[in-house]
Amino acid sequence: MELVIENEDHTLGNLLTKIALEDPRVSTAFYSKPHPLFDRIIFRIKTNGEDPVIVLKDIIKKIMEYSERFEKEIESAVT
């Protein structure tokens, strides 16, 4: 599956790729930034036969869980 994501850069591309490659259902995941002047990345994911949309949704859920946990840890450290 190939997904063009507008208004994003290496930050999201690296995060999606890292978490995707940790998933055993993913055989290949990478992104590219076709042109440095445009805020656009192309994320590509290949699964071992699973529906890539479902796998991508699971990856996004995992990223959201990490973000929420990180936010709680920061709040705890500040108070």
Asked if residue 79 has pLDDT above 90, the reply is no
Pairing outcome for strands 26-32 and 2-6: unpaired
Domain of residue 15: give its range.
2-78
42 forms beta bridges with 4, 32
Mean pLDDT estimate for the chain: 96
Contact criterion met (CB below 8 Å) for 54 and 68? no
28 forms beta bridges with 46
CATH of the domain at 25: 3.30.1360.10
CA-based nearest residue to 9, from 50, 49, 44, 38? 38
What is the per-residue pLDDT across 36-67, written as a single tens digit (0 to 9) for each?
A: 999 999 999 999 999 999 999 999 999 999 99
Q: How many domains are there within the chain? A: 1
